[in-house]
Amino acid sequence: MRFVPLAVAAALALTACTANRQAGPSLGDRPRPSGSASQSLPAATIELWHGFSTDAEVKAFEQAIAGFRKKFPQITVKAVKGVQDDQITQAIRGGRAPDVAASFTTDNVAQWCRSGAFQDLTPVIRQDGVDLSVLPAVARSYTAFEGRQCTLPLLADAYGLYYNKALMKGERPPRTLSELTALAKKLTVRNAKGDIEVAGFIPSVQYYENSPSHLAPMVGATWYHPDGTSAIGSDPAWKKLLTWQKELVDWYGHDKLDTFRKGLGDEWSAEHPFYKGKVAMVLDGEWRNAMIANEAKDLDYGTAPLPVADDRPDLYGSGFTAGTVIGVPKGAKHPQQAWELVKHLTTDTASLVTLSNALRNVPTTQASMRSPDLAKDANFATFLGIFSHPKTSTLPAAVNSVFNQEAMASFMAKWEKGGVPDLDAGLKGVDKLIDDKLKLSGG
């Protein structure tokens, strides 16, 4: 799965809310063909826009589509690679929408569902008898908003703990936050000046994948109340998480940790500090397995679920998930044929396994996760378990998703630096920022 910077995603979310509701064929107001769909659907050429761009990614996507082409030989699928959310939204607004569009981020789902930029798939899901229970509940939750199932999950990301076996020296991966703290301290190496040479674990929210959304499941923290207002200031789990985080930052020394962090290699290169033995344990997604195989094939490492709060052992094995979503935009010229393609890509076991094996993301149906054709060594299997765990969580869909995440990330960065004198008041301040923005957005 590709990483979408929050700053970029913010701009995309702003444009999504203005999507044009132009007239045109839709899934809701056109009758379904009678008889077998493969026989009764008329011939058409449909456009599928997706964000995959490397040769291997594009090839995998074409292989996944091959099964659909065999089933519907009268439908030509024109796949367009490297398309980002802002291009999709602008095309919808300009009346040039593709028939099918896939996105790497779930941050725009709420805007797309609410505005009608993506069509509600609920009617055709019911008409075709598609059983969404084959998807984990968490995957269903991040693809819908306000009762509108305007997207479906294509592949998923799950986040866990990677650990360097040589640096661990026989220690087992930590299961609780107190164990993580103790092991991080034990594995940290400093020079004579006290500067960090090897970090056991970097607790800073500014480090790579340590975003608030990825860390929150470790303590079971919730983002919103049922009415959509912020729960950050009233959920004690957030205070627990931030207290643990800052205590470990303070043990390292904020300035020393910051200097060390800034001197590390790029996250998306062969210079990643985990590859180089500079960090013993890191929070990361399942796709890191494929990157290690390509960039550090001799690295001896293991994977495990993320440690959890000491008083929440029931959370162990769970984690954070999100993923690629796919749907039929408003204004699609051939919505019925588009739906058949979306249904195929998101429910056909062979297609999902093909994509997962090539891209090393988690397939999203129970059947595809159990398929004997799925490549799943022990390190990848960890993430299949995390994704399917009943307490794995996601960032709930919200119209201001990017803004809310940035507000919390900014606060956590200020907190770990020692710039927040009153944690309770600070968290309430984050609530106010989120709730004020929600009011401006129409609640």
- Residue ranges per structural domain of the chain: 6-157+321-387, 158-315
Per-residue confidence at 24, pLDDT binned at 50, 70, 90? Answer: low
Helices (H), ranges, 223-287 = 236-252, 254-262
69-92 pLDDT per residue, tens: 999 999 999 999 999 999 999 999
Options 3.40.190.10, 3.40.140.10, 3.90.1200.10, 3.90.76.10; CATH for 158-315 is: 3.40.190.10
Measuring CA to CA, how many Å separate 316 from each of 99, 177, 304, 364? 41, 11, 10, 21
Q: What is the pLDDT of residue 279?
A: 98
pTM: 0.91
107-153 pLDDT per residue, tens: 999 999 999 999 999 999 999 999 999 999 999 999 999 999 999 99
Cβ(305)–Cβ(318) below 8 Å: yes
Q: Give the C-alpha separation, 193 to 395, whole Å.
A: 41
Mean predicted confidence (pLDDT) in 321-331 = 96
Q: What is the pLDDT of residue 3?
A: 40
Q: What is the pLDDT of residue 28?
A: 58
Q: What is the pLDDT of residue 39?
A: 56
Nearest C-alpha neighbor of 155 from the set 421, 400, 364: 364
250-261 pLDDT per residue, tens: 999 999 999 999
Query: How much of the chain, in percent, has pLDDT values that exceed 70?
Result: 92
User: pLDDT averaged over the chain?
Assistant: 91
Asked if pLDDT for residue 23 goes beyond 50, the answer is no
Q: What is the pLDDT of residue 52?
A: 87
Per-residue confidence at 22, pLDDT binned at 50, 70, 90? Answer: very low
Mean predicted confidence (pLDDT) in 179-201 = 98
Q: What is the pLDDT of residue 384?
A: 97
Mean predicted confidence (pLDDT) in 54-82 = 93
Measuring CA to CA, how many Å separate 273 from each of 73, 166, 255, 431? 48, 14, 19, 35
Would you say the CATH fold of 158-315 matches that of 6-157+321-387? yes
Mean predicted confidence (pLDDT) in 355-380 = 95
Asked if pLDDT for residue 380 goes beyond 90, the answer is yes
| Residue 217 identity | P
Q: What is the pLDDT of residue 35?
A: 42
Asked if pLDDT for residue 14 goes beyond 50, the answer is no
For the domain 6-157+321-387, what is the CATH code?
Answer: 3.40.190.10
